[in-house]
Amino acid sequence: MGRPPVIPPEKKSRIVLSILAGEVSIAEAARKEKVSEQSIGRWKAEFIEAGKSALAAGKTGPSTREAQLEAEVDDLTRALGEAAVEIRVWKKSAEGRLGPSRTSR
């Protein structure tokens, strides 16, 4: 027997959801998609486990991607503040050498 067809994750999800909804049995889905019942059983188990993990992660706080983005926002906010301070210092320094600027009048 040859290698089973590659089925995209979206299609696997739809198959598993139809099984969980009771629309089709594992055996029916396996025949229709030309894959083994064991494969579909494994997809179902992985789907349920991933759902449990996602729900557990939701209770404990932000995902690692959200935490990474929040840290990046903090870094960029700090850098922006530092740049604003540097600009003020440069302007004050330039006013001392060149006199008051036209915009300060």
- Split the chain (105 residues) into runs of 10 and give each run's mean pLDDT: 77 94 95 93 94 77 82 95 93 78 59
How far is it, in rounded angstroms, from Cα 16 to Cα 86?
Answer: 57
Q: Could you count the other beta carbons within 10 Å of the beta carbon of residue 20?
A: 11
Q: Tell me what pLDDT residue 57 has.
A: 72
Q: For 1-61, which CATH class?
A: mainly alpha
List all residues 6 or more positions away from 81 whose beta carbon is below 8 Å from its beta carbon: none
Model pLDDT, residue 71: 94
pLDDT score, position 10: 93
5 close to 34: Cβ distance less than 8 angstroms: yes
Q: Is the dihedral of CA 33, 35, 37, 41 positive or negative?
A: negative
pTM for this prediction? 0.52
Could you tell me the residue ranges of all domains in the chain? 1-61, 63-105
Residue 46 has a pLDDT of 94
Positive or negative torsion for Cα 78, 81, 82, 83: positive
On the CB side of 8, CA atoms within 13 Å amount to 3
